[in-house]
Amino acid sequence: MKLRLGSKGENIAGYLFLLPFLIIYSMFMLYPIVRGFVTSFHKVSISMESTFIGLSNYTQMIRDKYFWEALWNTFYFVLISTPTLIIVGLTLALIVNANLKGTTFLRSVYFLPFVLSISVISSIWVFILQPYTGLLNTFLHKMGVVSEIFWLDEPTLAWISILIATVWWTVGFNMVLFLAGLQEIPEDLYEAARIDGAGTWRQLVSITLPSLKNVMLLTVVLQTISSFKLFGQTYLMTKGGPGTSTRTLVQYIYEKGFIERDMGTASAMSYVLFVVTILFAVIQFKFFTNKD
Amino acid sequence: MKKLSALVLSSVLIAGTLAGCGKEAEKAPNEGGSTQAPAAAPVELKYWAPFSGGDGDFMKELVTKFNSSHEDIQVEILNLKAEEYYTKLQTSIVSNQAPDIAIAHASKLSELTEGGLIHEIGDVAKEAGIDWSTYSENILNATVLDGKNYAVPLDTHALILYANETLVQEAGLVGAEGKLELEGGQEGFMKTLQDLKGKLPEGVFPVAATSNGDSPLRIWWTLYSQMNGKLLSDDAKTAAFNNEQGKQALVYMNQMVNEDLWPKNTKNGGEIFTANKGALMFNGGWMTGSMEQNENLKFIALPIPQLFDRKATWGDSHTFVLPIQKSQDAAKQAAALKFADWVASNAGVWAQAGHVPSKPAVVNSDEFKALKYRSDYVEIADYVSYMPNSPKITAVQDIFKKHLNVMMNGQATPEETLERAEKEINELLAK
């Protein structure tokens, strides 16, 4: 696509239309990004006086074992959540895209949790998963399970619980993205395939999945980024516990910045997360586009 | 595609409606004095508080009363969410948009003074006519840093012991006079719990208390304070709790958990107790206000018994502070402290929330005595034990809570807990 360059007047009008957006974008996006970078080289006191300390925040961060733990926890969640959310999202999209009765209803049902806020989601899952009085354990006891299962207090189980809650909350969004992709695939491709005797599986592998490549790329990138930003679920469901075993980088940044009031270190860690996230997004774009 | 966009659109609409429902309409009461114009323009004060639920209603009631009885001072309250309260308060002060008066917990005062965010109030208090001798000494002391007054205390809210009347009666713990009979001393109390476990119906906890977060820290601090323990060194530069007493308190808690007297990983002790599933509960006095409204629950409220060398219990206070302003207005400051002192003097309403008022005169008033339960634990005002003053106390407590959580989970011993917490707290304090 080539840009048509209009007259000077048209350009000015265009920029004027963009202006409100640009102002707000610079104030609340660009400025904080730059300011955060600057802050990461400063020691900031409670009363917001800052002194330049060079790379100290970064060296301190590298020596902090909790930083590495939080970074690993974040990676771990990206690793377990991204494939799960992609596969479940795609499966749901395939189900609701089928010409069956009730799919419109199902679409709304699957998407609905996504409109709820994270505090609501977390309260629901704590209500379900908490020991002694939780819905799930009460049910299991009725079914004859005697021992108390601590869904939110054993590191592995806690991660599974967080994953389940996250899937339930956000998978609807991925489903909608895939659904949009599915509906763009021309019906005649399937028709031709059926005439050639291709079965459902063959159609899925040879038509559906290849056609979804662009949507897949978008979804994987968006999903990875949002998994890197995990905070609400762990903070509200496990408080990062037991101990610090489900504390993610964003939570650690929050605690450093707003509880310990160490804005410098918090900014430094934010930049690590920023760089890591960008790196992953770039790698994914490369990985997907190279195959063309 | 049409269907899809319709779906997305309707979802967005639903989201909008839901979000609208979620937001509480927090209107400041604007009743008293807003219609008739007084002779001189009244001093208008902005007042911030972190009170939710019952606390918020009682405070608004007090503000309304104050406004209607004072033509010269009008207070406008803004109730913020507790979780984000201090962040907002500190940001507002730094950006020169601070309220004229604000609530702060006594335990936060050191953080606020260190950052130069609140005023020393000695002189203004004199001008406002505050007589410090009308306040309970122990409570007042928690608001004095380096010999200077920084806040007007409103109350103390401390850890107390609740008992489910029905359950302890069935277990035979209630004597002829209708009073709860607990054996004193650490062995006696533990024995009571063990007996209870044998007598209580299946699925009922001898002790219901939340196992993570603030609750275990407060319980440990109570036990440790009963042994005269210190959290930090006198200069607040190093941790001072890794000792025999600190360990003994943790071992005591550990025993309750290991013997299933206080079942492991309890998520919400208050909820379990309220559902008649717990015989005893360690919790804050603020539970009284909400639990007495539950018709299905009969309970007894008591100070935590003396298990070790002396009486003590964890506690904190709500206090009034004067945030630093861009330009100081002496008239406003004096008016603000008059309001604070008035609220403290009229805290009978506030006591309905379960807190113990800071002024002995209020405690001795008929209004206070008419309230059930409160008088049973009012003595805590004399020996409530506050966390030490340190600008890093919140972060210190967070480290401690984190390690305590692991121990309560059965994944660390008391010794490991103290050692790890000591090491990290020392690192934090050295920064």
**Whole-number Å distance between alpha carbons of B348 and A242:** 41
H or E stretch covering A44: strand A42-44
Closest-CA distance of chain A to residue B365, Å: 40
The whole-number pLDDT of residue A284 equals: 84
Asked whether residue B252 carries a pLDDT value surpassing 60, the answer given is yes
- How much is the pTM? 0.84
A47 vs B19, B115, B411: nearest CB: B115
Inside any domain, residue B95: yes
Same domain, B295 and B209: yes
Does the bond joining A242 to the residue before it have cis omega, within 30 degrees of 0? Answer: yes
Question: What is the tally of helices (H) and strands (E) in chain B?
Answer: 20, 14
Selecting from A114, A131, A259 the residue whose C-beta is nearest the C-beta of B267 gives A131
- Answer whether B364's CB lies under 8 Å from B128's CB: no
Residue B28 pLDDT:
42
B20 lies in some domain? no
Residues of A in contact with B11 (CB under 8 A): 108, 111-112, 114-115
Q: What residue has token string 């603030």? A: B214
Residues of chain B contacting residue A120, judged by C-beta atoms under 8 Å apart? 22
- Alpha-carbon gap, residue A170 to A164, rounded angstroms: 10
Q: Same domain for B129 and B164?
A: no
- CATH label of the domain that carries residue B337: 3.40.190.10
Q: Please state, in angstroms and as integers, the Cα–Cα distance from residue A106 to each residue in A15, A95, A176, B109, following that order.
A: 43, 9, 12, 54
Tokens 């309001």 map to which residue? B339
- Which residue of chain B has the CA closest to A127? B267
Interface pTM (ipTM) of the complex? 0.78
Does A153 sit within 8 Å of B428, measured CB to CB?
no
In the three-class reduction of DSSP (H, G, I as helix; E, B as strand; rest coil), residue A240 is classed as: coil
Helix-, strand-, coil-residue percentages of chain A, each rounded to 5? 75, 0, 25
Asked if B369 and B375 count as a contact pair (C-beta separation under 8 A), the reply is yes
Tell which wins on pLDDT, A46 or B18.
Answer: A46
Mean pLDDT score, A174-192: 92
Mean pLDDT calculated for residue range A271-281: 92
Task: Output the pLDDT for position B174.
Answer: 84
Residue in B with minimal Cα distance to A45 = B115
Q: Is the pLDDT of residue B268 over 80?
A: yes
B180 and B293 share a domain? yes
Asked if B409 and A153 come within 8 Å (Cβ–Cβ), the reply is yes
- B408: containing domain: 158-315+387-430
What is the pLDDT, as a whole number, of residue B18? 43
Question: Which of A46, A150, A259 is facing B398, going by the closest CB pair?
Answer: A259
Which of A44, A47, A51, A114 has the most B C-beta neighbours within 10 Å, making it the best mutation to test the interface with B?
A47
Put simply, the answer to whether B213 touches A239 (Cβ < 8 Å) is yes
Residues B250 and B337 in one domain: no
Gyration radius of chain B over CA positions: 23
Quickly state the pLDDT bin for A260 (edges 50, 70, 90): confident
Q: Which two tokens stand for residue A12?
A: 């000015």
Contact A47 B117 (CB under 8 A): yes
Residue A58, Cβ density class (10 Å: 0-12 exposed, 13-18 middle, ≥19 buried): middle
* H runs (alpha helix) in B31-154: 53-69, 82-94, 109-114, 122-127, 137-141
**What ranges in B128-184 are assigned the alpha helix state H?**
137-141, 165-170
What would the pLDDT profile of B76-97 be if each residue is shown by its tens digit? 999 999 888 998 999 899 889 9
Distance from C-alpha of A203 to C-alpha of B325, rounded to nearest angstrom: 70
Instruction: Return the H-helix or E-strand segment holding A154.
Output: none
What is the spatial distance between Cα B104 and Cα B81, in angstroms, rounded to a whole number? 13
Q: How far is CA B345 from the centre of its chain?
A: 19
Q: Evaluate whether residue B17 is within a structural domain.
A: no
Nearest to B7 among A108, A132, A241 (CB): A108
**Considering only A32-46, A206-220, B13-27, which range has the smallest mean pLDDT?**
B13-27
Distant-in-sequence, close-in-space partners of A254: CB < 8 Å, separation ≥ 6 = A231, A235, A266
Q: Hey, is the C-beta of A229 within 8 angstroms of any chain B C-beta?
A: no
Tokens 């603020």 identify what position? B286
Question: Higher-confidence residue: A7 or B420?
Answer: B420
Note whether B134 and B175 are same-domain residues: no
- Best B212, B272, B397 member to test A by mutation, with max A CBs in 10 Å, is B212
Minimum-distance CB partner of B90 among A46, A131, A152:
A46
In the stretch 167-196 of chain A, residues with CB closer than 8 A to chain B read: 176, 179-180, 183
Q: Are B7 and A106 spatial neighbours (Cβ–Cβ below 8 Å)?
A: no
Q: Per the structure, how many domains does chain B have?
A: 2
Of B134, B177, B166, B112, nearest to B296 by C-alpha is B166
Q: What is the mean pLDDT of residues A37-43?
A: 92
Which of A80-84, A116-120, B20-24, B393-397 has the lowest average pLDDT? B20-24
- Rounded alpha-carbon distances, angstroms, from residue B91 to A48, B97, B99, B283: 9, 8, 11, 31
Residue B15 within any structural domain of the chain: no
pLDDT tens per residue across span B174-223 = 877 777 888 878 999 999 999 999 999 888 999 999 998 899 999 999 99
Polymer length in residues for chain A: 292
Asked if residue B270 and residue B411 are part of one domain, the reply reads yes
Predicted pLDDT of residue B30: 44
B131 and B224 inside one domain: no
What are the chain B neighbours of A153 within 8 Å (beta carbons)?
A: 264-265, 409
A–B CB contacts, 8 A cutoff, strictly below: 102
* Euclidean distance between the first and the last CA atom of chain A, given in angstroms as a whole number: 20
State whether A180 and B1 contact (CB < 8 Å): yes
Tell me the CA distances in angstroms from A36 to A42, A55, A63, A233, B23, one per residue in order: 10, 14, 21, 25, 30
CB contact under 8 A, B115 and A46: yes
pLDDT per residue over B347-388, tens digit each?
A: 999 999 999 999 999 999 999 999 999 989 999 999 999 999
* Chain B stretch 67-96, residues whose beta carbon is closer than 8 A to a beta carbon of chain A: 87, 90, 94
Residue contact B22–A117, C-beta within 8 A: yes
Classify residue B120: in a domain, yes or no.
Answer: yes
Given phi > 0 = left and psi -120 to 50 = alpha, else beta, which region is A175? Answer: alpha
Residue entry with tokens 């009922």? B204
Helix (H, G, I), strand (E, B) or coil at B21: helix
Q: Are residues B75 and B95 in the same domain?
A: yes
Beta-carbon separation of B4 and A179 below 8 A: yes
- Radius of gyration of chain A from its Cα atoms, rounded to whole angstroms: 24
pLDDT at B105: 96
Is beta strand A42-44 parallel, antiparallel or unpaired with respect to B144-145?
unpaired
Closest to B355 (Cα-Cα) out of B155, B173, B188? B155
* B176: three-class secondary structure by DSSP: coil
Q: Residue A290: its pLDDT value, please? A: 56
What pLDDT, in 10s, does the model give residues A126-167?
Answer: 999 998 888 999 999 999 888 888 999 889 999 999 999 999
| Residue B210 contacts A, CB cutoff 8 Å | no
* Residue in B205, B392, B409 closest to A242 by CB: B409
% of chain A with per-residue pLDDT over 70: 95
Residue B119 maps to a domain:
yes
A117: chain B residues, CB-CB within 8 Å: 18-19, 22
CB distance B299 to B163 below 8 Å:
yes
Q: What class, spelled out in words, does domain A61-289 have in CATH?
A: mainly alpha
**Model confidence pLDDT, tens digit, residues B122-178:** 999 999 999 999 999 999 999 999 999 999 999 999 999 999 999 998 888 887 777
The Cα of B74 is separated from the nearest Cα of chain A by a number of Å equal to: 30
Q: Is A130 on the interface with B (CB under 8 A)?
A: yes
Same domain for B144 and B293, yes or no, is no
- Look at residue A5 in the predicted model and tell me its pLDDT: 57
Measure the CA–CA gap between B167 and B261, rounded to whole angstroms.
15
**Separation of first and last alpha carbons in chain B:** 58
Beta-carbon contacts of residue A46 (< 8 Å; ≥ 6 apart)? A261, B90, B111, B114, B115, B116, B117, B391
Q: Name residue B153's beta-bridge partners.
A: B319
The reply to whether B365 falls in a domain is no
Q: Is the pLDDT of residue A239 over 70?
A: yes
| Beta bridge partners of residue B129, listed in sequence order | none
> Is residue B7 in a domain?
no
Choose the closest CB to A45 out of B115, B205, B271.
B115
Chain B contacts of A176, Cβ < 8 Å?
A: 4, 7-8
What percent of chain A lies above the pLDDT cut of 90? 63
Burial of A98 (0-12, 13-18, 19+ CB in 10 A): exposed
d(CA B70, CA A256): 44
pLDDT tens per residue across span A48-104: 778 899 899 999 999 999 999 999 999 999 999 999 999 999 999 999 988 788 888
Contact A147/B at CB under 8 A: no
Tens of pLDDT, residue by residue over B114-133, are 888 999 999 999 999 999 99
Same-domain pairing of B171 and B262: yes
Per-residue confidence (pLDDT) for residue A8, from 0 to 100: 67
Mean pLDDT of A272-285: 90
CA dist list (Å): A122 to A110, A135, A155, A222: 17, 14, 17, 22
Encoding tokens for residue A3? 């840009």
Cα–Cα distance, A232 to B83 (Å, whole number): 14
Sign for the CA dihedral angle at B137, B141, B143, B147 comes to: positive
**B148 shares its domain with B275:** no
Alpha-carbon distance values, B307 to A160, B214, B261 (Å):
41, 21, 17
Residue B423 burial (CB count, 10 A)? 14
Averaged pLDDT of chain A: 89
